[in-house]
Amino acid sequence: MKSLQFSVSVPQYLALTLLGALTKGFFYNGPLATARLVDAPEPALPSPDWVKIKTLMCGFCGSDLNLILLKESPTASPFSSFPCTMGHEICGEVAEAGSGVRDFKKGDVIILVNQLGCLVRGIADECRSCREGRPSNCENMAEGSLAPGMFTGICRDTGGGFAPYFIAHKDQLFRLPEGISIKEAALFEPLGVSLQAVLENLPRDNDRVLVIGAGVIGNLVIQSIRALGSKCQVTVAEPYPFAADMALKAGADRLITDGDILRHTIEITGARAYKPMMGKEVLMGGFSKIFDCVASQSTLFSSMRALETGGTLSMVGIGKDVKLDLTPLWLKLQTIKGAYSSGYVNFEGERKHIFEIAARLVRQKKIQLEPLVTHTFKLEDYRRMIEVNLHKGKYKALKTAVTFL
């Protein structure tokens, strides 16, 4: 079968660091490409507790693009293994079920819960994160019976959604809910990320909220805020007109499109600006909650200055190495929260998996997923898909996906 695999060596990394500055095409074309379409055998079940999944649709995540372009921090490399078949936003169909799988059978359509926590790795004595329902933050993601990997799509043993078949543990399966389409199901993973981030920094009605970046994650952060009932004032910073317009449809109140977050923070919130001896202004006052869905050095710098005293910044984007002035952190007693993947939460007095909450909100039409899937591709057209993601403004692209339908 054909499989889109990622792999990189240290010499390759160093060469692409230089050549990639000339054109990003080197990362997915030619002898140094990190992503290649290769022939791979269909996977076999490693134990009776596993299933083989036939991929129906798999979303192309911003982290997939960053992986290909080597923008991910090398700090995370011990928790990945190469070569790996990419793709982790997956809806698929059970093609084969091991004898230890009781709740799923051949033909069942599932949404993948992609984390590779302790139980998936065959570790019976679960770590604290897994016991608390957050296997995405498992402390054993480089241990156990599997090669290192935080999730399906960066682990060489499991395969991923950019291939016709991959394998999954029985604890990674979430049955496709009634009334949810295949296209919607392929967005449950990014919806879970966004919904989890919002639930962990839930805005009150009187909060002034800033969302930086209105790609799929930013759009779903806005939709999640509204779906959970908050009437707070939401401002979105997004330079691309198509994504900005979609943010307004998702429930944003106003836009920042010129990149001058600090000036608009003063206008919107009444914050006061103070000019230091050198550098950008420091604001007193500002937004009470910020969801930074980019997490670059530039956006984090602006976020910390635009956040009011006692405010909370959720870092939803996955940035690389950054250099920051931490003065606002202590000067304004700020809280910075990491946001990564999803798991179980206490919701309306019950312990629920985030996908359960997501399914309810999607069925109730409080969250709209299908309009976010703007482009679909066959696997062999992966280079075209990468190019569309490199120029989202030009192609009016939000979520792109590989389809096997």
Q: pLDDT digit string (tens) for 277-334?
A: 988 889 999 999 999 999 999 999 999 999 999 999 999 998 777 888 999 999 999 9
Q: How many domains does the chain have?
A: 2
Asked which of 338, 358, 386 is the last residue of a domain, the reply is 338
Give the mean pLDDT of 249-277.
Answer: 96
For residue 11, tell me if it sits in a domain: yes
Kindly state the tokens that stand for 259.
């990149």
Task: Name the residue with tokens 């990320």.
Answer: 193
Q: What percent of the chain has pLDDT over 90?
A: 94
For residue 125, tell me if it sits in a domain: no
Q: What are phi and psi of 373, to 5 degrees?
A: -85, 95
Angstrom distances, CA of residue 229 to CA of 96, 203, 207: 41, 10, 13
- Shared domain check, 251 and 398: no
- Shared domain check, 86 and 56: yes
Question: What's the CA gap between 127 and 152, in Å, rounded?
Answer: 19
- Shared domain check, 155 and 81: yes
Task: Name the residue with tokens 């209105």.
Answer: 214
Q: pLDDT digit string (tens) for 108-164?
A: 999 999 999 999 999 999 999 999 999 999 999 999 999 999 999 999 999 999 999
Tell me what pLDDT residue 279 has. Answer: 85
What pTM did the predictor assign?
Answer: 0.96
Question: What's the CA gap between 55 and 60, in Å, rounded?
Answer: 13
At residue 73 the predicted structure's pLDDT band, cuts being 50, 70 and 90, is: confident
Q: pLDDT digit string (tens) for 381-394?
A: 999 999 999 999 99
Evaluate whether 92 touches 56 at the Cβ level (below 8 Å). yes
- Shared domain check, 317 and 255: yes
- Shared domain check, 37 and 171: yes
Question: What's the CA gap between 364 and 345, in Å, rounded?
Answer: 20
Question: Which stretches of 128-174 are DSSP H helices?
Answer: 128-131
Tell me what pLDDT residue 9 has. Answer: 92
- Shared domain check, 109 and 236: no
Query: Residue 270: which domain range?
Result: 192-338
Tell me what pLDDT residue 247 has. Answer: 98
Mean pLDDT of the chain: 96
Kindly state the tokens that stand for 308.
């009011």
Angstrom distances, CA of residue 168 to CA of 101, 173, 259, 281, 282: 11, 8, 42, 50, 49
Q: pLDDT digit string (tens) for 217-243?
A: 999 999 999 999 999 999 999 999 999
CATH of the domain at 71: 3.90.180.10
Evaluate whether 217 touches 340 at the Cβ level (below 8 Å). no
Map residue 388 onto helix, strand or coil: helix
Give the mean pLDDT of 362-381.
Answer: 97
- Shared domain check, 310 and 174: no
Question: What's the CA gap between 189 and 28, in Å, rounded?
Answer: 25
State the Cα angle at 369 between 367 and 371, rounded to 5°. 120
DSSP-derived secondary structure letter, 372: G
Angstrom distances, CA of residue 282 to CA of 73, 273, 306, 391: 29, 6, 8, 33
Question: Nearest CA to 36 among 63, 2, 65?
Answer: 2
Q: Quick check: 350 pLDDT over 90?
A: yes
Asked which of 320, 338, 356 is the last residue of a domain, the reply is 338
Cis before residue 83, ω within 30 degrees of 0?
Answer: yes
Strands of 276-320 (E only): list them: 282-284, 287-292, 307-315
Question: What's the CA gap between 346 and 352, in Å, rounded?
Answer: 6
The 3-state secondary structure of 64-81 reads: HHHHHCCCCCHHHHHHCC
State the Cα angle at 389 between 60 and 176, rounded to 5°. 25
- Shared domain check, 314 and 215: yes
